[in-house]
Each structure stands twice: as structure tokens, then as C-alpha cells.
Amino acid sequence: MASGDTITKTHHRATTRIMRHGEPVFLCFCGMTNFLRFKLRFDRTFWMGEIGDADQARVYEVALASQSAALDALRPGVTAESVHAAYAEVIQDAGFESLQLSAFSKTFCRICETLLS
């Protein structure tokens, strides 16, 4: 768990830092979810109260829109790569750098497509 200005430093150890209203809190549940012998990452960002920074609010809105685009793209017969392209397009259109799937992610997505088809 990380919060405030340390949010980008994941996998923290506990500290006595006091979290403040309006700042982000990042929770990482790495390896806590299993899917057919695969350990999955499960990360979430929350805010203490309302989002306290306009830039953070914009990034959050883009993240929600990109997730919505990915969910809209999901249907039988599509590839994981096309779902990735749907959410990446939203991120790029908002002026942020494109995210690329790692070789592991591409392999895992192909495995999931095979198992779920």
C-alpha cells in the first residue's frame, strides 16, 4: 500500500505516515488471485474522500473511459489484442502515451483466449 506522494513506489512496507484527505491510496494485491495456476495482479487506486488534484481527476476519468471502451469491445470471437487496442486508443486520444502489452501479457492473453473459447 502506498499513498500521497509515494503512490508510484509500490510494494511499500508499513509506515507511520498519516494519510490525508484528497490524496490517492494505491492497494496492490499481487499474487493473491489465482486463475488456472496463474497468479494475477490485482491493483486498485482509491482516494481519501474526493480527488484533491485536477490532474489526478483527469487521469482517473481517462482510466474509467478506457476501461469502458475495453468492456464494450469484449464479445465472443475478439482477440485480447483488439480489446487492448480499444482501451489504448482512449488513452492516446486523451494525450497520454500508449501502453504496450508485455510479452508475458500477450502470451497470457492467448492462453486465456484458448481456454475460454
Per-residue model confidence as pLDDT tens digits over 46-95:
888 888 888 888 888 888 898 899 999 999 999 988 998 998 899 889 98
Question: What's the rounded mean pLDDT across residues 20-34?
Answer: 77
Q: d(Cα 16, Cα 49) in Å, to the nearest integer?
A: 20
Q: Are 21 and 4 in contact (CB under 8 A)?
A: no
Q: Are 46 and 28 in contact (CB under 8 A)?
A: no
- Residues above pLDDT 70, as percent of the chain: 69
Q: d(Cα 77, Cα 113) in Å, to the nearest integer?
A: 9
pTM listed for this prediction: 0.63
Q: d(Cα 27, Cα 67) in Å, to the nearest integer?
A: 18
